[in-house]
Structures are given as structure tokens and as C-alpha cells.
Amino acid sequence: MKKTAIFFGSSSGTTEDIAGRLAGKLGIDSSDVYNVGEASVEDTAAYELLLLGSSTWGVGDLQDDWEGFLPKLKKADLSGKTVALFGTGDASSFGDSFCDAIGIIYKELQDTGCRFCGFTSPEGYIFDDSVALIDGQFVGLPLDEVNEDSETDGRLDRWVEGLKNN
């Protein structure tokens, strides 16, 4: 598998927990897992595959730490890198903006030269709308640890298997 790092933003610890679980499933060392609130864009340079994770806050807002990191990442040349997105949200309370953060990151990184992978079918998800839903698929892996935590392990396992082929 490509040299991989996880970059996440987490306010309540949920997305950080998911980042740790992904690292375990993919055999990624903890030194290759970065909180974007403490990371620099230069940290991405050594990796071929970037797993980027964010929680969605309020009505479709990025997690706060991404507000400072994403504009810098958007200016970086990510040519030759593969990017996979994962996010957490609450599909019941915020069904109209479920996991919008990963959709925002996806749109912001469109012109950086990276290739995206890790798209997910919306089948089995209960939500109303999401900017992360493009052409009938989520642009990454959305997770609802509030209402559908019993689905998380299976969703993570399926997503990780797909990543291993990229």
C-alpha cells in the first residue's frame, strides 16, 4: 500500500477516534496520524495517500481546525497524491447537511492535482441532503456515531478494503 497519513480535525474526539481506528485497520503508525490543528501542510509532502477527516458542525460547517489548514492545503501542489475523505456527522439532527464537511474539503481540493478515491454509496444511510453527495455517491466515507454507531465497523471495513486497491 502507498505511504499513507491521516489528517483529521476533531472537536469532541469522535473524528479523532475514527482516525485512530482507521490507523489500526490500515497498519498506520501513530506518528503518521496528524491533528490539523497542530500540523503543517509540509507534513503532507512525504505521503502518497492522504486520508482527510473532519466532523461537520452546526448546519454544514467544517470543524474549526480545518478553517486554518484547508486554505493552505488548497494552495499546495498535490499532484501525484491520492486523497480519501472521511467524516462524522449527525444525520438525525442535521439531516439537511449530513457530513457536509467532506464535501467542502472535496470541492476546495479539486484544483490541487490530487486524485480522489474512497467514494461511498448512500445506500443504507438515513439523511435528507449533503453537499458530500455528488453524482449519486458520497465523496468519501460519512459516519454517524450519534445515531448509527452500530454501522460504523462494517462501513470502516468496507471502505478500508476499497482503499487497499488504490
Tell me the pairing of strands 115-117 and 82-88.
parallel
Q: In whole angstroms, give the CA distance from residue 71 to residue 68.
A: 6
- pLDDT score recorded for residue 91: 85
Longest dimension (CA), the chain: 39
Cβ-based neighbours of 59, under 8 Å, separated by 6 or more: 94, 96, 97
pTM: 0.96
- pLDDT score recorded for residue 28: 96
Phi, psi for residue 120 in degrees, rounded to 5: -130, 135
Cβ-based neighbours of 37, under 8 Å, separated by 6 or more: 9, 64, 65, 68, 69
- pLDDT score recorded for residue 59: 79
* CATH number 3.40.1010.10 is the correct assignment for the domain at 4-158: no
Name residues of the chain where pLDDT drops below 70. Answer: none
- pLDDT score recorded for residue 93: 78
- pLDDT score recorded for residue 95: 77
- pLDDT score recorded for residue 60: 85
- pLDDT score recorded for residue 71: 97
